[in-house]
């Protein structure tokens, strides 16, 4: 059964119903919580599992997990994140206004709100979100006069920026999808066929109907990483998960699309700093 985390475990009685901190994840067990969690990826990559679906997280990604949703980070020590934890009551004074924002309305309309999907922020959005989170940490640490109210107001600003970003990047029935079909198809191909050793940018481009150069440029513009790098990171993120699930290094190499065990071990150590067998031993 998934562990339930409680807001009181992270804050003191003097906190204003919101707390922000930076952390480095090495993978977590499945858990849920009794608070909202807004997550911004500062650097690194890993797989995130929620609702039995795996998503690759990279720097610049943002997502929001509401209370009661079971999720976990899978098997990498390379991801640095900002966590913003808050209670619904913290923003209750602004609930009416927040409900008017399309991306956030569902969070307040039901006792079992759905998680907002992961999005990749553009550079301007990354700067705004990162700046707000760092300022919230600074103000909470210095605790000058009025800091509780200021941090609450910063949380509302953060939610507004998040809502705008979700509305911009995630399609709805009445909006144009900001991920063109060829990028969405490329993501689907990588996620479904990462174990194919012959999968390449050229193959993916051919199946999506565009040239490799064009796909690479547009894919990086929209997701923050190139197709080849996305495929590489997805494979290593998946490899860490499989290693922690007890598969042998040889099995994992084959499962994530490496024809050569030596090549897999060499590239794994280059990416994660340890050999696959050492990684499994250290994190078991």
pLDDT at 106: 67
Decide: helix, strand or coil at residue 267. helix
Range 179-184 average pLDDT: 77
pLDDT in tens, 19-36: 999 988 766 788 999 999
Distance CA 3, CA 211 (A): 47
Closest CA to 101 of 69, 61, 64: 64
CA 40 to chain centre: 7
pLDDT at 154 over 70: yes
pLDDT in tens, 132-151: 999 999 999 999 999 999 99
| pLDDT class of 272 with cuts at 50, 70, 90 | confident
pLDDT at 109: 65
pLDDT at 77 over 70: no
pLDDT in tens, 85-125: 999 889 888 888 888 887 777 666 666 555 677 888 888 99
- Hey, what are 149's tokens? 């109210």
Closest CA to 45 of 78, 81, 82: 78
Distance CA 179, CA 175 (A): 11
pLDDT at 173: 40
pLDDT at 57 over 90: no
Parallel, antiparallel, or unpaired for β 45-50 and 36-43?
Answer: unpaired
**Domains with residue ranges and CATH for the chain:** 3-169 (2.60.120.280), 181-283 (1.10.10.60)
| pLDDT class of 13 with cuts at 50, 70, 90 | low
């Amino acid at each position: 059964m998934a562990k339930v985390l409680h807001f009181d475990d992270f804050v003191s009685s003097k906190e204003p119903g919101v707390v922000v901190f930076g952390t480095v994840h090495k993978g977590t067990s499945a858990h849920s919580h009794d608070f909202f969690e807004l997550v911004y990826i500062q650097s690194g990559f890993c797989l995130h599992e929620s609702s039995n679906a795996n998503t690759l997280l990279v720097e610049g990604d943002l997502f929001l997990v509401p209370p009661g949703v079971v999720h976990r980070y899978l098997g990498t020590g390379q991801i640095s994140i900002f966590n913003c934890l808050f209670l619904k009551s913290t923003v209750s004074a602004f609930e009416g206004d927040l409900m008017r924002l399309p991306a956030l309305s569902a969070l307040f309309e039901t006792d079992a709100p759905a998680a907002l999907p992961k999005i990749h922020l553009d550079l301007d959005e990354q700067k705004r979100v990162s700046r707000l989170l760092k300022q919230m940490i600074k103000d909470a640490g210095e605790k000058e006069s009025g800091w509780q109210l200021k941090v609450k107001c910063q949380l509302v600003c953060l939610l507004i920026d998040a809502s705008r970003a979700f509305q911009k990047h995630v399609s709805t029935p009445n909006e144009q999808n900001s991920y063109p079909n060829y990028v969405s198809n490329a993501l689907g191909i990588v996620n479904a066929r990462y174990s194919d050793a012959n999968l390449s940018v050229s193959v993916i481009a051919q199946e999506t109907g565009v040239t490799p150069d064009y796909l690479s440029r547009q894919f990086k513009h929209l997701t923050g990483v190139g197709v080849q790098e996305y495929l590489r990171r997805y494979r290593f993120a998946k490899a860490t998960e499989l290693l922690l699930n007890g598969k042998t290094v040889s099995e994992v190499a084959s499962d994530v699309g490496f024809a050569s065990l030596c090549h897999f071990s060499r590239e794994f150590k280059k990416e994660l700093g340890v050999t696959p067998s050492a990684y499994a031993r250290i994190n078991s």
